[in-house]
Amino acid sequence: MRHPFIVANWKSNKTTSEIERWFELVVSAMPTPHAEVILCPSFPLLPMSQMLIEKYHLTWKLGAQDVSSFTEGKHTGEVNAKQLKNFVDYVLIGHSERRRELKETDEMLFEKVKRVQEVGLTPIFFVQDKDTPIPDTIKIVAYEPIFAIGTGNPDTPEHAESIAKYLKKSKNIQTVLYGGSVDHKNVSLFLSEGLIDGVVPGTASLDPKEFVQLTNNA
């Protein structure tokens, strides 16, 4: 059986000095995780996260939380897919916080997916419900209902499983993740049926102890 994915979405949290301690605590408490950990820090933390993953000989992968919809060039402040390729394997695209706060449209998100795939990275595409438009080339989808994000009020495992089933059958998605108030207590409920292939903890990924427990229970 394949190990579940744990996509740690740190969002706009942590500084370089804080992550050294986070790694130290997590690694000392979690020698060999039987999970595919994909750590998603903010852009400035990617180089140091890469160094720390090497330092501790972890099999983890890195993901970016965003990418430019443009290729390199005259786009001040944008981080393009080619620049990310030295650091990450995955890129999160379409998180509801960005759709809402940054006014990201389906059109922009579809462009981002293209940029990411052009350079050989894997997009993890976020949907808020079963009707969110998904580009045809997407293989990994994270289902995150808005009411569940950061609220302590997750979707029910049964409903999340029904969405996973639908996405796999009707939209040809290979891998479906669930996110929204996942923690060490509920993580196994989402993974037990095998329809959901992994989870996306936000809040629960920030605290080393909680993250270790969550990963162990997955």
Stretch that binds ligand PGA, among 16-24, 46-54, 103-111, 178-186 (CB under 6 A): 178-186
Q: Is 204 in the site for ligand PGA (CB under 6 A)?
A: yes
- Tell me the residue nearest to ligand PGA as measured from the CB: 202
Rounded to whole angstroms, the Cα distance separating 124 from 63 reads 9
Specify which residues 114 forms β-bridges with.
none
CA distance 134 to 96: 14
180 binds ligand PGA (CB under 6 A): yes
Name the one range near ligand PGA by CB under 6 A: 18-26, 45-53, 68-76, 200-208.
200-208
**Residues with catalytic annotation?**
95, 144
Residue 213 interacts with ligand PGA (CB under 6 A): yes or no: no
Nearer to ligand PGA, 39 or 204 (CB): 204
Dihedral sign of CA atoms 88, 94, 96, 100 in order: positive
* Residue 203 in the binding site for ligand PGA (CB under 6 A): yes
Burial class (CB in 10 A: 0-12, 13-18, 19+), 76: exposed
Query: Which listed range, 17-25, 105-113, 128-136, 143-151, lies at the site for ligand PGA (CB under 6 A)?
Result: 143-151
The CA–CA distances, whole Å, from 179 to 12, 21, 128, 182 equal: 17, 25, 10, 6
Angle at 123 (CA atoms; ends 90, 54), nearest 5 degrees: 5
Q: Are 160 and 187 in contact (CB under 8 A)?
A: no
DSSP bridge pairs for 179: 200
Q: Is 144 in the site for ligand PGA (CB under 6 A)?
A: yes
- Binding residue (CB under 6 A) for ligand PGA from 4, 6, 8, 9: 9
Closer residue to ligand PGA in complex, CB, 56/147: 147
| Interface pick for ligand PGA out of 38, 202, 211, 214 (rule CB under 6 A) | 202
Does the CA dihedral 73-75-76-80 come out positive or negative? Answer: negative
Residue placing its CB nearer to ligand PGA in the complex, 68 or 203: 203
Is 182 a residue that touches ligand PGA (CB under 6 A)? yes
Interacting residues with ligand PGA between 17 and 46 (CB under 6 A): none
Verify binding: residue 186, ligand PGA, rule CB under 6 A: no
C-alpha distances (whole Å) from 58 to each of 30, 47, 148 are 11, 15, 30
Residues of the shown chain interacting with ligand PGA in the complex, contacts defined by CB under 6 A: 9, 144, 149-150, 179-182, 200-204
